[in-house]
Amino acid sequence: MGATKQRTEVRRRQIARAALRLMARRGAGGLRIGALARSVGLVPSAVYRHFRGRDAVMDLVLDYVRDELMANVAAVRTQARDPLKRLHRLLRRHVRLIVQNRAILRVVFSEDVFGESPRRREQVRALMHDYLGAVAELFQEGQQAGRVRRDAEPRTLALMFLGLIQPAALLWHLSGKQLPVAVVTEQAWEIFSESVATKPKEERR
Amino acid sequence: MGATKQRTEVRRRQIARAALRLMARRGAGGLRIGALARSVGLVPSAVYRHFRGRDAVMDLVLDYVRDELMANVAAVRTQARDPLKRLHRLLRRHVRLIVQNRAILRVVFSEDVFGESPRRREQVRALMHDYLGAVAELFQEGQQAGRVRRDAEPRTLALMFLGLIQPAALLWHLSGKQLPVAVVTEQAWEIFSESVATKPKEERR
DNA sequence: TGTACATCAGTGAACGCGCGTTCACTGATGTAC
DNA sequence: TGTACATCAGTGAACGCGCGTTCACTGATGTAC
């Protein structure tokens, strides 16, 4: 029944957005072509006019996630000079990203990604690796600027940084938005950053 | 053809163990009755002699995970008196548990659990909640003993504790055992515990 | 500006596959007497 | 200790379902002249 025709670029965008919504609710494995089509007012087979298949949709979503994460890193670089401030802002952005678009959690933790195809798994590994690399770079710059203690590996710090968010985000997600992620993460950042910053002996924070 | 008969309790144990192995490789969603049956030398339909269905198998696995996590908490309580030492030991045990049995990661991050049935989701939430509660208790005892700073919420500390492991474990898993989780986690613990412990100088607050 | 044709985004029916689950059955094991 | 019967853990065939994907088609949109 008569969906009005749209140019393929338009449909691709619509479908990608719908995919994000669906994955937020049902997870990566729960991305059904049928539901996807319906939610943009098409018939399942119509999706194949715009994508080669389910995998191609997934790819686009993964690209989106990567873009968002990396854009955050770039953004905080322009917003602050102090490496620790940059990291703090990145933390907030990361939390906001996850809260606003739960699909991101699902993609990274997905089954699909986790076990299934070696290709997918490698894609996500690379994504996580790159993001961690960018975060580690921020820490390293902090070390060079004398703001961050030098007796810690930047990559370890980057992992800890992610660790400030991940369990809270997971629990938040499981509990259906009950947990105040932003607040908890902020508290965790305070403790973490304090222990990571070089102490200007006997001075205030 | 012709599997020798076994008592149902024996089969249940065999099946549960096989389920753990399978989930470690393919994830919770990848737990197939067929594969499960084959890996204990049975025919798919035979599984139904011992379990009501796929969900019942999942339930048993979930129970196992809960038991292991909680047993770890109990164990470290007997192994050390100092709350921080207990937490350190718990961290190591947690890492070992995950490394030795990857199914645990999959269960907690699973799709199945993540989106699908509200029941499953609630089960996992409760599991995580209880474990976090037990960890928070250790922190609280540390505060009462004057070993842990009092200006931080025990629950926040518990979340951070999990955060020391989770991202590392995830990356380790994605990269196919490349990352030295134990080492990285140990480094992270050093930084974390240092910032959480009360400093000999500024005793009380 | 109108006509002829190519392209393109839709449709619905059908196919195939994997998988969980059911069912009637069989032969081994356990139990009562 | 042997016999009769109940129970119980196997088997394989079949069913049903959800879902991704293909295909022949149609009517709208774009383009050449």
What is the C-alpha to C-alpha distance for residues B121 and B129, in angstroms, rounded to an integer? 12
B27: which chain A residues are within 8 Å (Cβ-Cβ)? 111, 114-116
What is the C-alpha to C-alpha distance for residues B108 and B120, in angstroms, rounded to an integer? 10
**What per-residue confidence (pLDDT) applies to A175?**
86
Residue in chain A lying closest to B166 (CA): A163
Check: CB of residue A155 under 8 Å from CB of residue B185. no
**pLDDT tens digits for range B65-98:** 999 999 999 999 999 999 999 999 999 999 999 9
Query: How long a stretch of residues is chain B?
Result: 205
pLDDT-based confidence at residue B105 (cuts at 50, 70, 90): confident
**pLDDT tens digits for range A51-65:** 999 999 999 999 999
Check: CB of residue A25 under 8 Å from CB of residue A51. no
Residue whose token pair is 């025919």: B43
**What per-residue confidence (pLDDT) applies to B113?**
52
CB contact under 8 A, B26 and A129: no
In terms of Cα–Cα distance, which of A24, A115, A119 is closest to A65? A24
Check: CB of residue B83 under 8 Å from CB of residue B145. yes
The answer to whether residue B116 scores a pLDDT higher than 80 is no
**What per-residue confidence (pLDDT) applies to B117?**
76
The answer to whether residue A110 scores a pLDDT higher than 80 is no
Angle at A162 between CA B126 and CA A198, to 5 degrees: 125
DSSP-assigned beta bridge partners for residue B43: none
What is the C-alpha to C-alpha distance for residues B13 and B49, in angstroms, rounded to an integer? 13
**What per-residue confidence (pLDDT) applies to A29?**
81
**pLDDT tens digits for range A141-168:** 999 999 999 999 999 999 999 999 999 9
**What per-residue confidence (pLDDT) applies to B115?**
54
User: What is the distance in angstroms measured between the alpha-carbon CA of A51 and the sugar C1' of C13?
Assistant: 21
Q: Does A30 touch chain B (CB under 8 A)?
A: yes
Q: Which residues touch strand C (CB under 7 A)?
A: A 1-8, 11, 42-46, 49-50; B 4-5, 31-34, 44-45, 48, 53-55
The answer to whether residue A202 scores a pLDDT higher than 50 is no
User: What is the distance in angstroms measured between the alpha-carbon CA of B15 and the sugar C1' of D13?
Assistant: 24
Tell which of A116, A170, A178 to mutate to test the B interface (max B CBs under 10 Å). A170
pLDDT-based confidence at residue A121 (cuts at 50, 70, 90): confident
**pLDDT tens digits for range B147-196:** 999 999 999 999 999 999 999 998 888 888 888 999 999 999 999 999 99
pLDDT-based confidence at residue A132 (cuts at 50, 70, 90): very high
**pLDDT tens digits for range B6-46:** 999 999 999 999 999 998 888 888 899 999 999 999 999 99
pTM assigned to the model:
0.92
| A contact residues 115-174, partner B, Cβ 8 Å cutoff | 115-116, 121, 124-125, 128-129, 132, 152-153, 155-157, 159-160, 162-168, 170-171, 173-174
Amino acid at A77: R
Protein contacts on strand D: list nucleotides below 7 Å from a Cβ.
8-14, 18-24, 27-29
In terms of Cα–Cα distance, which of A27, A155, A169, A191 is closest to A97? A169
pLDDT-based confidence at residue A203 (cuts at 50, 70, 90): very low
**Closest in A109, A184, A192 to B114, CB measured:** A109
What is the C-alpha to C-alpha distance for residues B123 and B117, in angstroms, rounded to an integer? 10
Burial of B77 (0-12, 13-18, 19+ CB in 10 A): middle
In terms of Cα–Cα distance, which of A59, A69, A83, A61 is closest to A139? A83
